[in-house]
Amino acid sequence: MGCCTSSYVSKNGPQKIAISESSKIEDEAIPISLSIPARTPRRALIEEEEKKLPPSESHSIRLCNYTIEISNCSDSESDSEEDSDDSSNFEEPMYCPECGRGISDEDELLQHLFSCRTQAAQNIQNDQDISKANADEASKYDAEKKRTWFRENIAKLRVSSCGDTITLVVSRDNILEETFNQFSTVDRLDFRKDLKIFFIDENARDAGGVIREWLNLVTIEILKPEAKIFEMVNNSEDTFYTIHPEATYGMCHFAGQFLGKAIFEGAPLDGRLSKLLLMKMLLKEPKLEDLKLYDEQLYSSIAFILQDSVNASDLCMNFTILDNGKTVELKQNGADIELTNENKEEYSRLVVEHYTYKRAEIQTAAFTEAFFNIIPQETITVFSLYELDKILFGLKEIDVEDWKKNTFYKGEYEKNKNHDTIKWFWEVIVSLNNDEKRKFLQFCTGSRSLPIEGFKGLKRNSRTLCKFSINSLSAGRNLFLRAHTCFNSIDLPMFKTKEEVESAVRFILDQEKFYFGLS
């Protein structure tokens, strides 16, 4: 059976390699062609494409300057023995649905499943007991129990699909505008339904990997300065984003929906929101010390004014500030109010209010309202700032030892976990810097961020654990790594030297764009 793969476009032109989505998913694949008008309603797009697929004939699709043959017949055989060993016949790995452990033998899987289900039943009962607590009680839990309480309560809100899902059809070149336009047609409560993503002119059965790719691409566009939705915060330690004061109401509402839907699907996003915006979401009132999270230099200036030794009248200031080149009055007729020792506490409070909320009050309200329409506010107020940050944006530092510990091996690598190729592979991964590791993680899983549990928390979709796995391929004509992002899995040819492994990994890191397709 055919397998959905990804093609990459490099600086030197198209290359036919890498990300794969298994063909053994419940829904039928729906290829989307660029010949379809982009503004056609989503359902019409899908129905039109379904009509084009004969039930049992082969057809070809032009993908990344390669014409490939695709068969709708599930019993098609390969033309050669070498082809039958290729990962184009990739089948969904057998994973325990409870713990995510990968097991190749069916009998062994059944034995494992019996014991695992017993433990899982107890865990479910424990989770249900945890979820019965109210928000005040849950706020006293440890971090792990809080996450369990949150997941259980979010799961209760999910609308059973029964075939009814949110379906988006988007192109990579215009992904922000097309996602925005299609989100605007979705009813508020429908955001709690399952989500299906189709990339125009690409083919993939979405079991989690395609959604993660879509989330990553939209996040990149939302955070771009030219989008004027978010702006970077002046913090020397890390890069954070807050609402742009000139953002439109509609775009801020969309950004809140997007973040809410991502968290509803259990997918951490790239980038990070400023602590001040997180405080607003947690209903925490900012104080002067919190201004440091926005701008340390601004904080130092206000802290200086508040010192007892400073005579505010000598500073010749009034109740105005200069924000992005514009003079802003902190209160009515602020330009006529002289700063004195008697009112400098009030001045400090108004400055904090302005920079932490007032400067983008309408935009922030649009963002939080849309977010809470999907994720009820009481479900996140149980978290601390640190905990909420990790729920929303996951882990950014890649721990290779944790990665190795939570990896399963298939084929020859399962028989010999000390295989030279495996040893070289991990040596190459260890040698990468963190940004490179995150890009390679995106190649493998569709996401640059890890869930807060680390690699043991990787999932196939929002509800099914699916740890990372490495499948063996005969080297032969297989020169490239291939990834099955829905299953957090890669096909690694049994290279003869470490240099070949490093070259294959570097080739992935050098690519600029990722595409899904069929091979």
Q: How far apart are CA 471 and CA 351, in angstroms?
A: 57
User: Please, what's the b/e burial string for 28-41 (b: 16 or more CB within 10 A of its CB; e: otherwise)?
Assistant: ebbbbeeebeeeee
3-state secondary structure of 102: strand
Instruction: Return d(Cα 195, Cα 211) in angstroms, integer.
Output: 8
Burial class (CB in 10 A: 0-12, 13-18, 19+), 45: buried
Question: The tokens of 390 are what?
Answer: 């990790």
Element (H, E) at 197: strand 195-199
Reduce the DSSP state of residue 26 to 3 states and report it: coil
User: To which residue do tokens 């000139």 refer?
Assistant: 246
Q: Which residues contact 51 (CB under 8 A, 6 or more apart)?
A: none
**Is 486 assigned a catalytic role?**
yes
Tokens of 92: 């969904």
- CA quadruple 377, 379, 380, 382: dihedral positive or negative? positive
Residue in 3, 64, 116, 486 annotated catalytic: 486
Q: Are 307 and 288 in contact (CB under 8 A)?
A: no
Amino acid at 112: H
**Would you say how long the chain is, in residues?**
519
Active site residues: 486
